[in-house]
Amino acid sequence: MTNKGLGCANFTFAVYLANTPNMLEYQGISSVNSLVSGEVNAIGQACGNGWRKVFNVYAKLLYALNPTDFYFAQKAPTWQQYRDGYLLQAGSATALLFSPPELDSNTQTIHIICGRTYAKNLLAAGKLQANLIWLDDEFAIDVKHRLVVCPYFDYRQLSNIKIERLSAMLSGLVS
């Protein structure tokens, strides 16, 4: 299986979504393609508020991570500048993938599946081999594979308080 999505081909931080941006250039994507400066904004403009929220929440999460465990916030003074200057670009170590997670307990990669429904669909289809422990209705974790299931990247579903909770869970996976 090959990873398909947007971001750095050598990612160590992967977020998984069920759907791709509704733009011709992202249909039939067959590998991990780095974005260039301005492309996050262009996707948001073309595909609407839902995609703007995905990118904003992704950047806010990276910025909320403990800087002793993750270096993302050291790259830019604000999460907005990180989003526009680094998120999903070459060398960022970040990816937004539209293919099921390829889990290997020997890698240092963090895996985040957006949405309980997507995670359960992957499990039911046999496309996710994980031992998820559900912490509540929204969050699940597989420590061995450094995998977390969280609410979809949307302000209402993954609020700032839930971003802080997710950040603490992710620090727990790397320490």
pTM: 0.96
**Average pLDDT score over residue span 27-40:** 92
What is the per-residue pLDDT for 1? 62
Q: Rounded CA gap, 155 and 163, in Å?
A: 10
Residue 175 has pLDDT above 80, yes or no: no
Q: Which structural domain, as residue segments, surrounds residue 104?
A: 5-174
Residue 63: partners with Cβ closer than 8 Å, 6 or more residues away? 72, 73, 78, 79, 82
**Average pLDDT score over residue span 13-36:** 92
Residue 106 has pLDDT above 80, yes or no: no
pLDDT band at 87 (very low <50, low <70, confident <90, very high): very high
Return the closest-CA partner of residue 95 out of 105, 104, 103, 86: 86
Q: What percent of the chain has pLDDT over 90?
A: 90
Average pLDDT, rounded, for the chain: 94
Q: Rounded CA gap, 35 and 89, in Å?
A: 5
In one-letter notation, the amino acid at residue 64 is: A
Residue 44 has pLDDT above 70, yes or no: yes
Q: Rounded CA gap, 169 and 77, in Å?
A: 24
Residue 172 has pLDDT above 90, yes or no: yes
Number of structural domains in the chain:
1
What is the per-residue pLDDT for 74? 94
What is the per-residue pLDDT for 48? 85
Name 13's bridge partners.
94, 110
What is the per-residue pLDDT for 25? 85
> Between the CA of residue 125 and those of 47, 121, 122, 128, 129, what are the distances in Å?
28, 6, 5, 8, 10
Q: Rounded CA gap, 24 and 19, in Å?
A: 13
pLDDT band at 34 (very low <50, low <70, confident <90, very high): very high
Residue 141 has pLDDT above 80, yes or no: yes
What is the per-residue pLDDT for 107? 82
The DSSP symbol for 138 reads: S
